[in-house]
Amino acid sequence: MDYFTAELLNMKYVVSKNVDAFFTIIYDVAVFILRFFKEAFKPPFEFGEIIRQCYQVGYRSLALISMTGFITGFVFTKQSRPSLAEFGATSWLPSLVAIAIIRALAPLVTALICAGKVGSGIGAELGSMKVTEQIDAIEVSGVNSFNYLVVSRVWATTLMIPLLMCYTAFMAMMGAFLDITLNEQTSFSIFLTNAFSKITFLDFTSSVIRSIVFGFTIGIVGSYQGYNTSQGTQGVGKAANMSVVISMFLIFIEEILIVQIVNYIRVA
């Protein structure tokens, strides 16, 4: 066997090993998600823990979301003004900004910030519980650790991220209003009437649905990474890191897919 064939065979081995690993992970994740659905609607419900986790999601992200939302609205309005002014159409600014915020910016900004703050938090928290044997301890005390730890966290992100998205939209609108009232001296009621004149029910529901999907993604990815941590303390950092990277990646893909579907519905 010459060198070239040997290299080729080796490459084939490496590739097939990686492909195997890839599909093993896909399979594992699928099993993890199925297990969530199996246990999410089955007693015992950990209501106390779900509420505590909801509070954690809000608490971890609120400050950052308030600031980012407000600044996004403010800056977006400021930057859009010149191009509208060219056509003498600055009066359209409120409705243009509202559409951009509610259709696109609010869900995406919220999801990305929460992937960073909340997703990494879940990954690190469950990861350190795993490597310090706390998850084993829960299991040997006769409590279902998946239900107690994972189901409660996934419920929390799935419920809270749509709420936080509404809050981000509100803050962004406030930012937009600040800029508009400073420049065009528009009153708040006129701003609101203009802003919502072009927003449809579909715009709003599509954003809420996307946020639910994003929330679920952040919860599942963070929990999966944390719950399956290995390699000690080093693994905890990796779990936190991977939670952020993977959920952000998935959020972009989901965003593109759902927007395509909604646009299809909008035209039909």
Partner 1 sequence: MPIHTHIDMSKEMIRVTDLHKAFGDNEVLRGIDLIVHKGENVVVLGRSGTGKSVLIKVIAGLLKPDRGTVFVLDEEVERLNHTQLRALRLKIGFSFQSSALYDSMTVRENLEFPLVRNSNVRRKEINMRVEEALEAVGLSKAISQMPSELSGGQRKRIGIARTLIMRPLLMLYDEPTAGLDPITCIEINDLINEVQERYHTSSIIITHDLTCAKATADRVAMLLDGQFAKEGSFEEVFDTDDERIISFYHYNFIT
Stretch that binds partner 1, among 77-85, 131-139, 168-176, 192-200 (CB under 8 A): 131-139
By CB under 8 A, tell whether 143 contacts partner 1: yes
Query: In the stretch 42-81, what mask flags binding to partner 1 with x, by CB under 8 A?
Result: --x-------------------------------------
Q: Is the peptide bond before 44 cis (omega within 30 degrees of 0)?
A: yes
Stretch that binds partner 1, among 127-135, 203-211, 230-238, 245-253 (CB under 8 A): 127-135
CB of 121 to partner 1, least distance (A): 12
Q: Which two tokens stand for residue 124?
A: 């690190």
Stretch that binds partner 1, among 94-102, 113-121, 133-141, 201-209 (CB under 8 A): 133-141
- What is the torsion angle, in degrees rounded to the nearest 10, for the CA atoms of residue 9, residue 13, residue 15 and residue 17? 180
By CB under 8 A, tell whether 228 contacts partner 1: no
- Of 259, 238, 19, 53, residue with least CA distance to 150: 53
CB of 137 to partner 1, least distance (A): 4
Q: Residues 47, 133, 193, 260: which binds partner 1 (CB under 8 A)?
A: 133
Quick one: DSSP state of residue 231?
S
Stretch that binds partner 1, among 130-138, 185-193, 229-237, 239-247 (CB under 8 A): 130-138
In Å, what is the CA distance from 244 to each residue of 59, 79, 146, 210, 219?
18, 29, 21, 18, 11
By CB under 8 A, tell whether 104 contacts partner 1: no
CB of 116 to partner 1, least distance (A): 22
Q: Residues 34, 51, 64, 137: which binds partner 1 (CB under 8 A)?
A: 137
Cα–Cα distance measured from residue 66 to residue 44, given in angstroms and rounded to the nearest whole number: 35
By CB under 8 A, tell whether 254 contacts partner 1: no
Cα–Cα distance measured from residue 190 to residue 69, given in angstroms and rounded to the nearest whole number: 22
Stretch that binds partner 1, among 19-27, 73-81, 136-144, 164-172 (CB under 8 A): 136-144
Quick one: DSSP state of residue 1?
-
By CB under 8 A, tell whether 132 contacts partner 1: yes
How many residues touch partner 1 (CB under 8 A)?
15
By CB under 8 A, tell whether 34 contacts partner 1: no
CB of 20 to partner 1, least distance (A): 15
Cα–Cα distance measured from residue 184 to residue 91, given in angstroms and rounded to the nearest whole number: 9
By CB under 8 A, tell whether 83 contacts partner 1: no
Binding residues (CB under 8 A) for partner 1: these are 44, 129, 132-134, 136-144, 148
